[in-house]
A and B are shown apart, each in its own frame.
Chain A
């Protein structure tokens, strides 16, 4: 066994390293600038810095897990592979028509997102299966060969084959792949049933196309990453974080690139769930506020809420992913006054460049960060641990310009920006809670990111969340999430039939086949885990409905030909989710699902020493609730277990700043986390 576990989070601007020492339980953090387009370089720089400055023996790194934004950036920037698509005759416009619905029907200038493959490179294949898998029209192999050759001649770097009902019977897709590969040698060919074999032709095709689209870039990067590890004799099997909140070996990621799309936000949620879980909190709403956006996710009983209805860049992702909602509210969100004289914050953002006025990079517009500086929440001298001084006078100027039409003083104006931003988040929160059908009083708000802990308490008050949890090291949550996550892999099989008409033993066979596939995946990719377990589910609905809910399945009941328990579970779940159930109505199963979990050892969190009473390092004037107040200022590192900080107070640390408003108290738990509550 090696000594270290390494988590790496590769972002657009910075690459974060978190090294966990299994002997001392200490955590070392390191940040190096990212190196686009060759992101693996930053990994090399970081590894060299660990070996150099930090004197880490890289040969002792046992586990290396990293999260990457390469796939999602390739999609957002539309810089993926040039592809050709083969579809069933009559369905050439599956990517153009999509599901018809417009993202914003009120906008006369709106439209659906542009497909990743233009119509000119979509060819139809004469073939057709029926819904039960029966052959309606045989596969026209000559047609496949001709089209594959033509698309390759036109410069297609990859071919995707997506045929109607291939989730039911993949034989036409398999045969077409063989024919296409022979006709267009050297051009990779992929099929929809391999990527995700679920019914609904647009969603399945879009996912298969997305996978092929990002694949070359992600593979190139993964090769560079592995080479960087090999060159430094790092023995660890490299892993990549997945959108479903788990991880997988790099070898598997080459085949399932699409599963890395949302790995960044998912790791943050896993990390947050992990540290909050260690502190005894299972029901969480995570709030990660960065420069341009705020990411919000719901965790129940320690498990992030998963979703099969997420969209990335307007493209639906039907495989299960951690549900993260991004809203346009961050430190760089611009404050402005509309033509009627009403103050607004966002959705425009100054981004990283020029950034808020207080950055002194030429930004003139007032932003939420400028309001934080003017309100005294941020100390211009100590931003990012003093590595990036801010300019208070520029912030004031910008806030004054914004406030001019409002006739407010600069302090009131700054507070108005904070309050409007918080009310924006309130509106977004309401919708998320409402959609999830949960009661916020049973949840804690986990605030992280640079600005999350500044607005967390203000927002929690408005929403009615009783507790705010600020992790000890918010900056390392993503990387921590990566090294603590389990191996997770999902499998699906569309069966679609009435429960009272389906052959239950056949369903049991389907489930065993899915389990076998998942175990084969484990073996094929050399996954090393302490133990594996399966979770079985069925997507069910009443006959006539068009939406499903996932119900847990006891696999042995299918074996026994027994469905009464499943039916009861479905009625109960329907009652819980939708508020009513109809025990007399027939139900149907649409999909069977199996999730494999490979349990990995956990990182024990280091406890902090007992505190001796929090001692402020100073005090400064802040402006809140319409009046000035003297806030005590604390150094986060100086707080020990059991220490209590009473608001108004500011707690500073290099990767974030915490605001404890008047009337709130923050208690330090044994891991150094802050739990902020209303003073009893």
Chain B
């Protein structure tokens, strides 16, 4: 570092104030409710080469601090004072943007005619055109369906708006005025940044400010490196899945091998699935991308809350992101719902961390960021009016020393509910019947997971349509760790508790009849540590709270509860349903001797090795048919194919392998044979994948290597 430590700390504080000021300016003047309510935006300061050196933390999205704008700046051509670059295109910006609704702006800052840095930021606009309102459809198969693509171009030139470009943009979105308002708000934030940098230069001198930019990134990187040095060296693998890719029911495999070296971490995603034919791909440009490492950042920040967020968080992290995989898709792959995949990558990296640091890392959370929305006919506007009902996230993973957070998880902790009273005032045709926690849904453990949330919504008017983008973990449970058990899956039911009750599959677009009650449950968080080690008193407290039924106390924890097994109106609570007058009689007590006996019995007959992960029955069954080696070979085979054939072969070959696996374990030889049969039947040369490529890449851990 080139500045003295005191000057660096002063500068850090001043810049912290500067970027929060920028972010407030955006939040305050933005037009769409979306920006204000979900805080899906950011606004910070870049060094001349396009890396954030100062980044806001109190407002906006934390995970973008490692975004790199070098390519964006390069493509826009020579910059002058008052120019503003706009882009939303993941492919040409080299994944500065990661889906089209995020409009990114970069505005250069000059001092005495010299470029000293940039203000930069993005906001998620509510619509940028494309095949559906709000632009995001999981079913999009090409980015062309997802809206207007803007490669890095100048929206302002010398302080004057580029009217030609603006008119084209506004002609291609459904809410032009609001988008223009939001863009102006973002520009206001960038101008604030320029004013702040100029004031800092006047206060400290240009030399100090320029050195400070590098030093701050350096400072963050050093703090992260110090934390990495405290981790055990080695390579730690973990795999998780998106349950299906929307267009088929084949799970998307996300595999990571995390190698911890001397102050460096390498994340190798070799073995992760090929890019998919839906909008779940995560553009990364093939270089270390912050979206792949959010679990690491959260771990670092939790360990050391004093780490300033900036490009330095990503510097000690290398990545291998195979070309044409779901984590490095190639143009023109669709990517609108890339965050659903990012959440599961969070789980995969978290699992690798848990292997590196046994006992220290939380279990998996609900792992979905599902926005339930209702479209009803709006007679005045002559089209459907869409209301976002609630975000449905799921229980948080249990932490060492703490139960998981009910109904929510750190990776989506910025989302906020809408009060039922507000919703019903705005949309008089609906009633929120239930919005509460679900008993017995948390993954059992010494520390249990967070409970799931249940939302029951009744709609009285005809032509109601519900969407629930991002719904996940209806099949594969959130895993438990260190002996903790998996949390419950989510589930959807129509008209619960009535003769017309029926289970509904994962919601894509669901039509409701007048009077229908739609009931949605999120997943519950995984548990941490052996459930038999949870003090019986804590289990009893959950029974008193109505969060654990006596039956579940016995089955999951080996705790025998007597005397309180009924609710006040005499019914036995089943299935976590909350009955009127709902609290369970606090007369419930532990039968100490029966509990000791039962727990002893369970310990003696335990089959799982102590401290193991628990993935739940569905994933275990899947992996019995599809062991890790077979999946490695399958992905390798697909990756060896020319890109245009991969989706086809995956779709056709997968069921054949599964069918064989129902009868017998599938070997590499079987796979090769099935491939050759398919190749022959579809006139593809079988030699496309001969010889098979290696199963995994080699970690690159030399300091000078850039991936």
Let me know if B49 is at the binding interface, CB within 8 A.
no
Minimum C-beta distance from B388 to chain A (A): 10
Closest B residue to A118 using CB positions: B545
Would you call A90 and B436 a contact (CB within 8 A)? yes
- B13, B21, B177, B583: the one within 8 Å of A434 (CB): B21
Q: Which residues of B contact A426 (CB under 8 A)?
A: 13-14, 17
B105-127 interface (Cβ within 8 A of A):
none
Let me know if B213 is at the binding interface, CB within 8 A.
no
Let me know if B37 is at the binding interface, CB within 8 A.
yes
Let me know if B327 is at the binding interface, CB within 8 A.
no
Segment of B424-432, B589-597, B652-660 engaged in the interface with chain A: B424-432
Minimum C-beta distance from A406 to chain B (A): 6
Let me know if B301 is at the binding interface, CB within 8 A.
yes
Q: Which residues of A contact B410 (CB under 8 A)?
A: 102, 105-108, 110
Would you call A109 and B302 a contact (CB within 8 A)? yes
Segment of B24-32, B278-286, B329-337, B484-492 engaged in the interface with chain A: B24-32
Q: Which residues of B contact A579 (CB under 8 A)?
A: 28-29, 185, 188
Let me know if B437 is at the binding interface, CB within 8 A.
yes
Using known A-B contacts A97-B453, A131-B428, determine if residue A419 contacts B417 with beta carbons closer than 8 Å. no
> CA separation between A644 and B418, bound complex, in Å?
57
Segment of A23-31, A48-56, A333-341, A527-535 engaged in the interface with chain B: A333-341
Using known A-B contacts A100-B407, A100-B417, determine if residue A90 contacts B435 with beta carbons closer than 8 Å. yes
Let me know if A150 is at the binding interface, CB within 8 A.
yes
Would you call A132 and B428 a contact (CB within 8 A)? yes
> CA separation between A338 and B8, bound complex, in Å?
13
Question: Which of A112, A150, A340, A431 is the most central at the interface, judged by chain B CB atoms within 10 Å of its CB?
Answer: A340
Segment of A383-391, A539-547, A653-661, A669-677 engaged in the interface with chain B: A539-547
- Give B9-50 as 1s and 0s: 1 = Cβ < 8 Å from A's Cβ atoms: 110111011101100110011010100110000000000000
Q: Which residues of B contact A423 (CB under 8 A)?
A: 9-10, 13-14
- Give A416-449 as 1s and 0s: 1 = Cβ < 8 Å from B's Cβ atoms: 1001100110111111011101000000000000
Question: Which of A100, A118, A337, A496 is the most central at the interface, judged by chain B CB atoms within 10 Å of its CB?
Answer: A100
Minimum C-beta distance from A415 to chain B (A): 9
Would you call A107 and B305 a contact (CB within 8 A)? yes
Would you call A92 and B582 a contact (CB within 8 A)? yes
- A124, A128, A150: the one within 8 Å of B431 (CB): A128
Minimum C-beta distance from B537 to chain A (A): 13
> CA separation between A130 and B433, bound complex, in Å?
11
Let me know if B606 is at the binding interface, CB within 8 A.
no
Using known A-B contacts A100-B417, A430-B18, determine if residue A89 contacts B545 with beta carbons closer than 8 Å. no
Q: Which residues of A contact B402 (CB under 8 A)?
A: 109, 111
Q: Which residues of B contact A621 (CB under 8 A)?
A: none
> CA separation between A343 and B9, bound complex, in Å?
7
Q: Which residues of B contact A164 (CB under 8 A)?
A: 420-421
> CA separation between A90 and B36, bound complex, in Å?
29
A85-111 interface (Cβ within 8 A of B):
89-93, 96-97, 99-102, 104-111
Would you call B422 and A199 a contact (CB within 8 A)? yes
Closest A residue to B29 using CB positions: A579
A534-578 interface (Cβ within 8 A of B):
544-547, 577-578
Would you call B21 and A91 a contact (CB within 8 A)? no
Q: How large is the interface on A (under 10, 10 to 19, 20 to 34, 35 or more residues)?
A: 35 or more
Let me know if A638 is at the binding interface, CB within 8 A.
no
Let me know if B552 is at the binding interface, CB within 8 A.
no
> CA separation between A106 and B57, bound complex, in Å?
9
> CA separation between A433 and B18, bound complex, in Å?
12
Using known A-B contacts A201-B419, A343-B6, determine if residue A90 contacts B21 with beta carbons closer than 8 Å. no
B280-300 interface (Cβ within 8 A of A):
297-299
- A108, A122, A131: the one within 8 Å of B583 (CB): A122
Let me know if B391 is at the binding interface, CB within 8 A.
yes
> CA separation between A420 and B181, bound complex, in Å?
38
Closest A residue to B63 using CB positions: A106
Q: Which residues of A contact B58 (CB under 8 A)?
A: 431
Q: Which residues of B contact A427 (CB under 8 A)?
A: 13-14, 16-17, 20
Q: Which residues of B contact A167 (CB under 8 A)?
A: 421
Would you call A97 and B417 a contact (CB within 8 A)? yes
Let me know if B318 is at the binding interface, CB within 8 A.
no
Closest A residue to B177 using CB positions: A582
Segment of A62-70, A139-147, A606-614 engaged in the interface with chain B: A139-147
Would you call A100 and B415 a contact (CB within 8 A)? yes
Q: Which residues of A contact B8 (CB under 8 A)?
A: 342
Segment of B73-81, B137-145, B218-226, B253-261 engaged in the interface with chain A: B218-226
> CA separation between A651 and B53, bound complex, in Å?
41
B382-432 interface (Cβ within 8 A of A):
391, 393, 399, 401-402, 405-408, 410-422, 424-425, 428, 431-432
B357-399 interface (Cβ within 8 A of A):
362, 391, 393, 399
Closest A residue to B6 using CB positions: A416
Would you call B580 and A126 a contact (CB within 8 A)? yes
Closest B residue to A105 using CB positions: B413
Minimum C-beta distance from B451 to chain A (A): 9
Q: Which residues of A contact B609 (CB under 8 A)?
A: none
Let me know if A176 is at the binding interface, CB within 8 A.
no
Closest B residue to A461 using CB positions: B203
Q: Which residues of B contact A424 (CB under 8 A)?
A: 13
Using known A-B contacts A100-B391, A120-B546, A434-B21, determine if residue A199 contacts B419 with beta carbons closer than 8 Å. yes
Q: Which residues of A contact B20 (CB under 8 A)?
A: 427, 430-431, 434
Minimum C-beta distance from A573 to chain B (A): 13
Would you call B405 and A343 a contact (CB within 8 A)? no
B540-596 interface (Cβ within 8 A of A):
541, 544-547, 568-569, 578, 580-583, 585-586
- Give A326-361 as 1s and 0s: 1 = Cβ < 8 Å from B's Cβ atoms: 000000000001111111100000000000000000
Let me know if A580 is at the binding interface, CB within 8 A.
yes
Let me know if B434 is at the binding interface, CB within 8 A.
yes
> CA separation between A143 and B424, bound complex, in Å?
25
> CA separation between A128 and B417, bound complex, in Å?
20
Q: Which residues of B contact A106 (CB under 8 A)?
A: 57, 62, 297-298, 301-302, 410
Question: Which of B14, B411, B413, B453 is the most central at the interface, judged by chain A CB atoms within 10 Å of its CB?
Answer: B413
Would you call A124 and B21 a contact (CB within 8 A)? no
Let me know if B456 is at the binding interface, CB within 8 A.
yes
Would you call A199 and B421 a contact (CB within 8 A)? yes
Would you call A123 and B581 a contact (CB within 8 A)? yes
Let me know if A165 is at the binding interface, CB within 8 A.
yes
Let me know if B642 is at the binding interface, CB within 8 A.
no
> CA separation between A172 and B333, bound complex, in Å?
56
Let me know if B5 is at the binding interface, CB within 8 A.
yes
Q: Which residues of B contact A132 (CB under 8 A)?
A: 428
Minimum C-beta distance from B483 to chain A (A): 19
Let me know if A78 is at the binding interface, CB within 8 A.
no
> CA separation between A106 and B58, bound complex, in Å?
10
Q: Which residues of B contact A93 (CB under 8 A)?
A: 406-407, 435-437
> CA separation between A119 and B543, bound complex, in Å?
10
Let me know if A136 is at the binding interface, CB within 8 A.
yes
Let me know if B306 is at the binding interface, CB within 8 A.
yes
> CA separation between A367 and B305, bound complex, in Å?
21
Q: Which residues of A contact B33 (CB under 8 A)?
A: 544-547
Would you call A124 and B437 a contact (CB within 8 A)? no
Closest B residue to A547 using CB positions: B36
Would you call B421 and A123 a contact (CB within 8 A)? no
- Give B434-477 as 1s and 0s: 1 = Cβ < 8 Å from A's Cβ atoms: 11110000000000000001001000000000000000000000
Minimum C-beta distance from B694 to chain A (A): 35
Question: Which of B17, B20, B36, B428 is the most central at the interface, judged by chain A CB atoms within 10 Å of its CB?
Answer: B17
Would you call B36 and A546 a contact (CB within 8 A)? yes
11 contacts between A and B (CB under 8 A): A97-B453, A100-B408, A101-B413, A105-B411, A108-B362, A120-B586, A146-B568, A201-B420, A342-B12, A406-B6, A419-B6
Other than the given A90-B578, A93-B407, A426-B17, 5 more pairs (CB < 8 A) read A90-B432, A102-B408, A108-B302, A119-B546, A337-B5
Nearest 9 interchain pairs by C-beta: A105-B413, A430-B17, A102-B413, A90-B434, A423-B13, A579-B29, A434-B24, A131-B424, A427-B17
